[in-house]
Structure formats: C-alpha cells, structure tokens
C-alpha cells in the first residue's frame, strides 16, 4: 500500500496581515479554489479575450486585460472608464461566476466591509516582465466600496503606499491564493506591481493572474 504524505493535509489557514487602516492581506484566502477560479478565468477569456489596452497618453500596457461582470474597466485614447460592453466583441462582458462573486464578498467581509456587491471583475494577466505602475483606483464614482484583489500563478511584489504618490510604500510578495482588500481610509491608497520575475507555476505556467473586484453604481 502506498501512503501519500500530502493526501490528508488541510488547505493552509488564512493568515491576516494588516497593511494600513482599511487594508489587509488575507493570505491563502482563495487557495483551495485556485484551480477552479483559473478555469473560470479561461472560460471568460474564450468570450472576451485578453488584450493589451492603450493608455490615454498612447502607451500600450504591459499587462493584458479582460473583464467579467455588468461593467468592465477599459482604457484607450479617449480615457479610462467603465463600459457595459466589451469594445473588442461589441457584446456584454461575461458574467461573474457565482463562486467568484461569493468569495469576493466573503473577502470584503473579512476585511471589514460588509455590504459589498461587486459588479466589475477586472482580470489582469502579467507575463514575465509585466508591471503596473503606482496608481490609485479612482475611476469608480463611489469610494465607499472596497477593492478586492486576488492573486494566482507566479508571485509578484505588490507595492502599497499612502494617499500621496510620494508616500513610502510597503512591499509585499503576493502568491497564489492571496487576497488583498483595501477600502475606507485606504481606498485611494497608491499601489502597483513590480515587474514579474521569470519563473514557472504549475497552474499558470509563465504568468501571474490577478482578479480585481469593484462595485460601481
């Protein structure tokens, strides 16, 4: 009889790391569901493929993006905005799968935000070397709702600063299954992702996937 040492291991416990008032990392929060979530991302991408959008200033973003939900975040020469249809397909974005929705709501709750009903899920794909410069999430009309951000695949360094671009940043390595929630006093905190280092992950191969849930009304 063979004995599998790992067969009966429980998924790792969720570990809270407070970043700032209103901001927390929930380590491993979606680790047990990671593969299911990545399969749901693959299903979204079949309808609304990843694409490299252009900033209003005319630069191509290194991160490839798509969305699911009632609205999706888009950028082109006309500016940053939310759109109820995918400009690539002319169709509505695919819906947010129920598991994803429930996990985002549960993470927000753990972060101290109890009435979160996300209607946007921006999906970011970082190839090796891709990054997201320090920015604020401020295209939403209402800042009472938090941002819930889930990480999968290759690790990446998340920078989390203050309300001014020049504030010092904390650097946190995010790995598969980690969730960051920020709202309240931290809702407009500057944040970003340093260039993803070369590596291989069994579930995503050579990239990092990030899902960012927002509620816009």
Stretch 183-212 residues interacting with ligand AKG (CB under 6 A): 191, 193, 210, 212
The minimum distance between CB 4 and ligand AKG, in angstroms, equals 34
- Give the residue closest to ligand AKG by C-beta: 210
122 binds ligand AKG (CB under 6 A): yes
At which residue do the structure tokens 């990054």 appear?
131
Q: Is 212 annotated as a binding residue?
A: yes
Closer CB to ligand AKG, 26 or 132, in the complex: 132
With H, G, I as helix, E, B as strand and everything else as coil, classify residue 213.
Answer: strand
Which residue, 113 or 191, is less far from ligand AKG as judged by CB?
A: 191
Own/partner long-range contacts of 32-40 (Cβ < 8 Å, ≥24 apart): 32/177, 33/99, 33/103, 34/152, 34/176, 34/177, 34/203, 35/203, 36/99, 37/99, 37/100, 37/103, 37/150, 37/152, 37/211, 38/152, 38/153, 38/203, 38/204, 38/209, 40/97, 40/99, 40/100
For Fe ion, give the closer residue by CB, 26 or 65.
65
CB of 154 to ligand AKG, least distance (A): 11
Query: Binder to Fe ion among 29, 48, 103, 137 (CB under 5 A)?
Result: 137
Which residue ranges are tagged as binding site for Fe cation?
A: 135, 137, 191
């Amino acid at each position: 009889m063979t004995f599998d040492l790992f067969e009966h291991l429980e998924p790792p416990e969720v570990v809270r790391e407070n970043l700032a008032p209103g901001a927390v990392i929930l380590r491993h929060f979606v680790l047990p569901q990671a593969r299911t979530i990545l399969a749901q991302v693959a299903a979204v991408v079949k309808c609304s493929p990843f694409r490299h959008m252009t900033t209003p200033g005319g630069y191509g973003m290194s991160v490839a993006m798509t969305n699911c939900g009632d609205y999706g975040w888009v950028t082109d020469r006309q500016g940053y905005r939310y759109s109820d249809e995918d400009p690539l397909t002319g169709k509505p974005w695919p819906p947010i799968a129920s598991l994803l929705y429930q996990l985002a709501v549960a993470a927000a709750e753990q972060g101290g935000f109890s009435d979160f009903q996300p209607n946007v899920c921006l999906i970011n794909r970082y190839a090796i070397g891709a990054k997201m410069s320090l920015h604020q999430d401020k295209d939403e009309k209402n800042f009472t709702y938090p941002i819930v951000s889930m990480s999968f695949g290759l690790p990446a360094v998340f920078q989390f600063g203050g309300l001014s671009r020049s504030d010092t940043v904390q650097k946190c390595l995010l790995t598969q299954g980690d969730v960051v929630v920020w709202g309240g006093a931290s809702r407009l905190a500057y944040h970003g992702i340093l260039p993803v280092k070369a590596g291989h992950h069994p579930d995503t191969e050579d990239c990092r996937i990030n899902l960012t849930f927002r509620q816009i009304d």
